[in-house]
């Protein structure tokens, strides 16, 4: 089995590498036309994709997958339409390849130009969400990169069906279908083999929980752009609007509890515990959210459970929220620094000076003022879609869209210069 897995991985890597060389020279027109054909094919194959997804859903239910994680896995007509729209949004974006970042001529008289080029071959390892299959493929194609997809075992049938549609679309285009590859096995050994293919793959992007990220960072022989867990916080300041706080917190936690931009911990200034917080807690509980609070929060409602140290460090991805009291914005920032994952954190306040302190001092990829943490999404940033939210500092940070899937080269034009 191991030999067969290694052979399969190397075969798809070779195909992706060869396809990337031709994709580098593809025009924006050809890439956009290919994306249109892919979107049309996904629409045509909608029922086949839903049928495949139903197999994944049935299997997940048998394995007692939680409701929030099941929500991440589910495809329906609306979500497939969103997937298609995401591809059309990417078509409308400017092609970054070949664009000039900087141009200058130093004292030596050589004209120097810094230009965007594709990374080459990207491998993405992700869990649960089958829509990532389409988003990642479309972003890679538009940015001139081949992609190798390794979805989670729980979404295997859905991902394979989507890739089949993508390949059928590419067969009608001027771009090779080999630029999109999928690891066609749920064998866990495949991940290890993929991470060893530094001869073919230029970048690995893992999207998933701590154990997946840790394994990739430990085993990969390839550069890694990590999408870590989303332990997101919302801090309600003493000068926050009550109505705004209610609306933002309910959206940040309950809009979709199973996504990485969902707020997991609510930090509250001690002066708003009796004025703003009771209605927030009531609304959360009424919507089926389990609330866990510290000693100052528990007396607000008999249904509030006691929060433990473990709660502050937990990404629930479910209808659960922990609430902690803080004395000021500095204590809120310190808590985020201690327990956060550098993903997305928000402050609600009418005091712009306090907001600026929070925006500047919180060391996360995305920091918001008076807005829901669920805006941590490349589509909301105008990127069409995203490969994920990069939580490190190299080579990209925050939503990973077209521009973040490029690197650059220097083109120097002289007229006979030799260095003295």
In the chain, domain spans = 2-227+387-413, 232-375
How sure is the predictor about 1, in pLDDT bands with cuts at 50, 70 and 90?
very low
Structure confidence by residue, pLDDT tens digits, 204-221? 999 887 888 899 999 999
Which contacts (CB < 8 Å, 24+ apart) does range 297-304 have?
A: 297/268, 297/273, 297/323, 297/324, 297/325, 300/273
How sure is the predictor about 65, in pLDDT bands with cuts at 50, 70 and 90?
confident
More confident residue, 173 or 317: 173
Q: List the single range of 1-5, 17-21, 51-55, 347-351 with lowest mean pLDDT.
A: 1-5
Structure confidence by residue, pLDDT tens digits, 13-54? 999 999 999 999 999 999 999 999 999 999 999 999 999 999
φ, ψ dihedrals at 207, nearest 5°:
-125, 115
Q: Which residues partner with 344 through β-bridges?
A: 366
Q: Give me the chain's average pLDDT, please.
A: 95
DSSP character at residue 95:
P
Residue 82 has pLDDT above 80, yes or no: yes
| Structure confidence at residue 228 (pLDDT) | 76
More confident residue, 65 or 246: 246
Report in angstroms the alpha-carbon separations of 227 from 154, 334, 342, 345, 404.
19, 23, 10, 15, 13
How sure is the predictor about 388, in pLDDT bands with cuts at 50, 70 and 90?
confident
Q: String of b and e for 354-368 (b: at least 16 CB within 10 Å)? A: bbebbeeebebbbbb
Structure confidence by residue, pLDDT tens digits, 318-327? 999 999 999 9
The CA distance from 140 to 124, in Å, is 10
**Class at the top of the CATH hierarchy for domain 232-375:** alpha beta
Structure confidence by residue, pLDDT tens digits, 253-300? 999 998 899 999 999 999 999 999 999 999 999 999 999 999 999 999
Say which CATH architecture domain 2-227+387-413 belongs to: 3-Layer(aba) Sandwich (3.40)
């Amino acid at each position: 089995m191991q030999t067969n897995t290694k052979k399969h991985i190397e075969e798809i890597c070779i195909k992706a590498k060869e396809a990337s060389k031709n994709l580098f020279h593809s025009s924006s027109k050809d890439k956009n036309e290919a994306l249109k054909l892919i979107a049309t094919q996904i629409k045509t194959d909608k029922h086949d994709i839903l049928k495949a997804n139903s197999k994944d859903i049935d299997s997940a239910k048998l394995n007692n997958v939680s409701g929030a994680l099941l929500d991440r896995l589910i495809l329906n007509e609306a979500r497939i339409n969103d997937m298609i729209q995401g591809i059309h949004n990417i078509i409308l974006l400017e092609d970054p390849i070949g664009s000039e970042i900087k141009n200058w001529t130093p004292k030596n008289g050589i004209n120097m130009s810094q230009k965007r080029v594709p990374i080459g071959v990207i491998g993405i390892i992700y869990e649960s969400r089958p829509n990532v299959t389409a988003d990642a493929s479309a972003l890679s194609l538009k940015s001139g990169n081949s992609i190798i997809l390794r979805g989670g075992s729980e979404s295997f049938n859905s991902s394979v069906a989507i890739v089949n549609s993508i390949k059928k679309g590419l067969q009608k285009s001027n771009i090779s279908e080999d630029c999109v590859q999928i690891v066609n096995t749920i064998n866990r050994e495949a991940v290890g083999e993929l991470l060893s293919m530094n001869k073919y793959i230029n970048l690995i992007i893992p999207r998933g929980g701590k154990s997946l990220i840790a394994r990739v960072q430990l085993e990969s022989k390839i550069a890694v752009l990590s999408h870590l867990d989303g332990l997101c916080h919302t801090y309600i300041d003493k000068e926050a609007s009550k109505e705004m706080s209610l609306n933002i917190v309910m959206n940040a936690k309950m809009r979709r509890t199973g996504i990485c931009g969902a707020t997991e911990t609510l930090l509250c200034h001690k002066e708003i515990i009796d004025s703003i917080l009771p209605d927030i807690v009531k609304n959360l509980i009424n919507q089926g959210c389990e609330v866990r609070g510290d000693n100052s929060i528990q007396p607000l409602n008999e249904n509030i459970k006691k929060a433990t140290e473990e709660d502050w460090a937990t990404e629930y991805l479910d209808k659960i929220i922990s609430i902690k009291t803080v004395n000021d914005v500095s204590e809120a920032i310190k808590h985020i620094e201690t327990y956060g994952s550098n993903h997305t954190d928000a402050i609600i306040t009418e005091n712009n000076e306090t907001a600026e302190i929070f925006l500047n001092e919180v060391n996360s990829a995305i920091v918001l003022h008076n807005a829901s943490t669920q805006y941590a999404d490349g589509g909301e940033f105008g990127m069409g879609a995203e490969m994920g939210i990069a939580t490190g500092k190299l080579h990209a940070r925050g939503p990973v869209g077209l521009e973040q899937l490029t690197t650059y080269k220097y083109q120097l034009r002289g007229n006979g210069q030799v260095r003295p």
